[in-house]
Homo-oligomer: A and B are copies of this chain.
């Protein structure tokens, strides 16, 4: 059994674990997303990357899959740019630098940054998440 197959095996387990049927497209995208280090992608960037690797997959499926992975807790959506949606393979507690000039994201570990003094939300509402975005640009 080659390396590719082992990796595929892992992706398949992961998908089954969250109740997603391991179709070719999902397994391949999981392979691209979760192979190495944590990363940030947009639907378009992932579609291009997959296409360049020779994976046959439609853009609509990339969108579907990103949302399914997000609902399943495999990805997290990051809102930093009104123009496009970013997805992060790091679903743990952390925050982001956003490089406005390039549209790139860099993780900030969750134990490094701390937010104090968040007021109680209006009645009937609960805090879902506290997002911190450190917007940086060329000096």
Contact = CB atoms under 8 A, between A and B. Distances in A.
Interface string A100-136: 1000001010001111111101101111111111111
A37 interface: no
Given A79-B81, A125-B138, A136-B127, A108 B114 contact: no
Contact of A131 (B112, B118, B121, B133): B133
Q: Name the interface size band of chain A.
A: 35 or more
A137 interface: yes
A33 B112 CA distance: 38
Interface of A: 77, 79-82, 84-85, 97, 99-100, 106, 108, 112-119, 121-122, 124-139
